[in-house]
Amino acid sequence: MYFDTLIDGVGSDWQQHFQAEFEQGYMNALAKFLEVEEVCGQTVYPPKPYIFNAFKQTPFKVVIVGQDPYHGAGQAHGLSFSVPDGMNTPPSLKNIYKEISRDTGMNIPMYGNLETWAKQGVLLLNASLTVREGQANSHSKKGWLTFTNSCIEKINRDHEGVVFLAWGRFAHDVCANIDLNKHCVIKTSHPSPLGATKSGKEFVAFMGSGCFTQVNNELKRLGKAPIQWDTLH
């Protein structure tokens, strides 16, 4: 099947879950859709080897929920909000850096590769794992949301003490069924320039939220090592 060769390096626990999902009709339909995209010459991001990249990193203790991979050339590499070395830092990530700097005193880096966060145990998960070049959310209704929701539910069911960073209403909805007796969900607005300073009845503005310190305080409470947010290389 289309996905089987792409999950080498994914942990055995996830592999078992993935294989069960791959047998479902919606994933067969998604695989056929991606094959057609390829045959028709559509450029899809991230490159195939990076589609499941978020699940190939260190076992996680924090989850940051993104919506869609970057749809510009060379930007997406399978980690939400992250770009490979050599790429300009996208606007949302610039605001993420600004808030970390305000919150923790970190010097703002000139690059946007967040792999070091992933290696410390941050699952950088986009709700859709692929996108057509130049067309945001173009694959979001093709089955990915069902797949990633199943992954979120697995985390909710099978783990304890996971800290979720939910930025923006989309992420709030994705995390709506998280068991707060087992896990922690920290809600803010989205870090994009359009949303970073907005707040609502159930969430605070991203800018000024102190959400990165909140994550580390919760990890310490759980007896887990905090994330070194300023360690990016």
| Residue numbers annotated as active site | 68
CA distance 178 to 164: 9
C-alpha span between 147 and 44 (Å, rounded)? 18
